[in-house]
Structure 1
């Protein structure tokens, strides 16, 4: 029996057989390439169809090597079933046509999902191909080719996973000539869901695996493929990176009464505990008294409106083995719930503000990926955690606070609190660790969503090379960063009459004025600010991502750190 996105049809019952539903469900995912379009109209007419019989009609697709192997094992049942559906899917093989689900046509698998793979690539690139050369240019041909193949694999895997979940599959085995890392990432990211607070939801996320012969057997058209073992390693790497992003999603998605600053710290510590025990990672959570000793006036001002204790988290990973080396520092905004404070937000959609610690979730999860991969790199994560709530003790519009840097800040709007806590975190991180590069990640402004929607996160940087590397990493992850400007007008707009700076700008450009504010607290010549507010949440499944908090920017940062680990670590630089 054949199924199209949940719709069962009798058009392709060739070779189908009944099976017991008591048997554990298992899905095999294979694919076909789109048939190349004729170069000339004359060629098209020469190959015009002469019969409408499914048995004799020319295939509208090109079988992959793995498809042919499994079709032979099925006695031709798979190809007969797929060919029979061509009348309803004349462009089958294109990714946009999706998947066809066959039931009982394979002697070893209960279901076979056949996906359209698009046009066959000339060369199937392994992650090592571009990584070994430390490619950092987003326009580099190798980077662009691999990025396209990764995107294709993620998209196809998401469609396969949707089909597998429709038949309540417990496990999915991929045998497709696609990028292994892309397949596993697409499968894991598209199937993620937070079920901890919904016991009535009995659905389970399938497990995923890959058959090495998918690429070793070769792709259609004699394509060059990766060697034996590389596909499996790439697939496992993808499962790892996707699990880290899904961890960030879980942190951000969890209701704020179950994800306070203290619970955030405890939850993250559990993930790092095996590495803490081995002294690979140093994990420290500071309290209010410590923040007062550091004179973090901006951070403390935001936290003073809530009874929930703040936590300032530091995680230090010395993958190079040299604790004196200048590290990369990742700073994440950690507002575990943002009501707006006295400048309170509208009630509609306020529940999503449980995810306002998305920056903190991303940076701790990205570091988790680097640690699990064993990257020989030195990285420190710093996350100021607190709530932003209205109360009799809350900071008020018009108040002036003194930051750790000594600069005074007029608080024009208490809902522009993220930049306040980041200001002190940036100052502390630079003083304590003297990093060679510092990157902050934050759900900082609604303005970035106006500018970019959910297509890309906004990237601000004072270093062209750093910006280029981050953009290349984002392209490979199918999670792009778009470069944004900080003009002098943005810097001028945050001036204050009676303080050094003000926490809001004027005349629009909200994401740019927020970045200009953070820039005031940056001494490093290698700094980037990533505004993920526009990509924080999906109301519905989008691309290869399931609905909900996205954890976006996690995998690009892991990729960036992997690239960085292959380069000589530069000496720390500061402004003169």
Structure 2
């Protein structure tokens, strides 16, 4: 990540960024700006379209003068989202620069610095394969403010948040030729090593079999790379709330015997985006010293086609004893998440239980590519998570847990049908998972985040590829507790 610092009255010899409000209004800034620079900026803005709208940028070259380049960045209404959009736009406009100075408004709040820094860092992300040392950190950024001490803590919060998001993006972007369940478990363990208050354990296939994690074993049974269950915990010295986060971790999904077409498989390295998000958020909660106990459960498996793969029509016995008739092996994620949910309820006794899963493509039909679907019977919990998503710059929308659809899950040979092929597949998947939440049913929330876990092109603070969706939302929500 590129270096970003706050400072009072720094020099701006190379590139100066000035914030612009709607109506082409230049703010009064904490940095002294010469009259000629302001006059040139005003002239440029007079000719610009939508000047001041969040994420708009105008660039003026000033050869042989100081600063050498002037960047006018629209911040919209000046809320955190506007500053985040401005930061992302500036990041893409100054890729050739070595250093830039952003002159903040004299009355800028902490949320402005947070949004700006997050936008700069997030939009500057590029995935690199292991061994590729061609990455550049981007220009050094100095944020000019009146009182640097006032913003130091919020800048550090932004750094930790983005670092965790980029960790989730890296894990999700990694090709599945490298990323099997064992590799991913090792990466999580390595990231947790040496962090005070953080513990990690990994269940391998023999232990999963001995303890009865039938869903994880069934899905992972077709691969030569056996499944894992990672349990990562942050336990601060004092905490009054225990949250368990469960994340679907399918490192590659062929669909199994219910095999996907080729186009449906091309991006299936992203099918562990939920696991990446909950692990990264837990590690960041520890680094930020949030006073909330957090346990992350990441069931990891590779859903492959082979003689040992589970079949449509098989009955799977989950941890705790409930059984599922699996009529579609491409509906595999819910089987591994179900095991982890029961384990969380019976063994960890949390106060709140949340799962994130790239579960269905159906939510994209209803909500588009940028919005996750939220399901819960708990109004306060759903409102809090959706509010946190909005503050964090991610999008989520609550969907119904329709009581009439519960009958779709009826099976003649098992407790539940895992895949109800009667429409509303995102809703029925959520209803299925709810059956494994036991006494936590009224304190559970499910997020179907398949669509927003991936961006087909750079867009705002998103780079092409994995988005790390959910890390920022979870951290905002955990901080609110």
TM-score by length of 2: 0.91
| Deviation larger for 341-350 or 96-105 | 96-105
SS of equivalent residue, structure 2 residue 251:
strand
Tell me by how many angstroms 1:198 deviates: 8.6
1:69-108 mapped onto 2 (5 Å cutoff):
69-72=31-34, 76-86=35-45, 88-89=47-48, 91-95=50-54, 97-104=56-63, 107=66
Q: How far apart are residue 169 of structure 1 and its match?
A: 2.2
Bigger CA radius of gyration: 1
Deviation of 1:205 after TM superposition, in Å, equals 3.3
Task: Provide the secondary structure at the position in 2 that maps to 1:360.
Answer: helix
Q: Deviations over 1:521-543 (max 9, x none)?
A: 01202000011001011111123
1:191 corresponds, among 113, 116, 124, to 124
Q: Distance in 1 between matches of 2:61 and 2:236?
A: 47
2:203 equivalent to 1:240:
no
Equivalence for 2:81:
151
Matched with 2:465 is 548
* CA-based RMSD: 2.2
The CA distance in 2 between the partners of 1:97 and 1:376, in whole Å, is: 38
Matches within 5 A, 1:414-493: 414-493=329-408
SS of 2:266's equivalent in the other structure is helix
Alignment partner, residue 34 of structure 1: 22
In structure 2, what is the equivalent of residue 314 of structure 1? 231
Q: Is the 8 A contact 2:55 2:88 kept in 1?
A: no
SS for the counterpart of 2:76 is coil
User: What does residue 5 of structure 2 align with?
Assistant: none
What secondary structure, in the 3-state scheme, does the structure 1 residue paired with 2:319 have?
coil
Number of equivalenced pairs:
463
Structure 1 residues 106 and 432, CA, compared in 2 at 3 Å: closer, same or farther? farther
Partner-residue secondary structure (3-state), 1:257:
coil
Please give the alpha-carbon distance, in whole angstroms, between the structure 1 residues aligned to 2:346 and 2:352: 13
* Closer/same/farther in 2, CA of residues 104 and 375 from structure 1, 3 Å limit: farther
1:211 match: secondary structure = strand
* Contact 2:54/2:83, CA 8 A, preserved across alignment: no
Which of the numbers 10, 26, 31 marks the counterpart of 1:63? Answer: 26
Q: 1:393 to 1:99 in 2, by over 3 A?
A: same
Q: Distance in 1 between matches of 2:50 and 2:131?
A: 40
Deviation of 1:285 after TM superposition, in Å, equals 0.9
Gaps of 5+ in 2: 1-11
* 8 Å CA contact 1:93, 1:118 repeated in 2: yes
Contact 2:273 2:453 in 1 (8 A): yes
The whole-number CA distance in structure 2 between the counterparts of 1:552 and 1:481 is 10
Q: Shift in Å at residue 506 of structure 1?
A: 3.1
8 Å contact kept, 1:441–1:532:
yes
Which one of the candidate residues 179, 199, 211 is aligned to 1:282?
199
Quote the residue 2:454 is aligned against. 537
1:114 corresponds to:
72
Work out the CA distance in 2 between the residues paired with 1:211 and 1:428.
Answer: 47
**Partners of 1:212 and 1:229 within 8 A in 2:** no
Picking from 174, 177, 189, the partner of 2:102 is 174
Contact 2:233 2:282 in 1 (8 A): no
Deviations 1:41-87 (A, max 9, x none): xxxxxxxxxxxxxxxxxxxx3222228x4431xxx342343234346
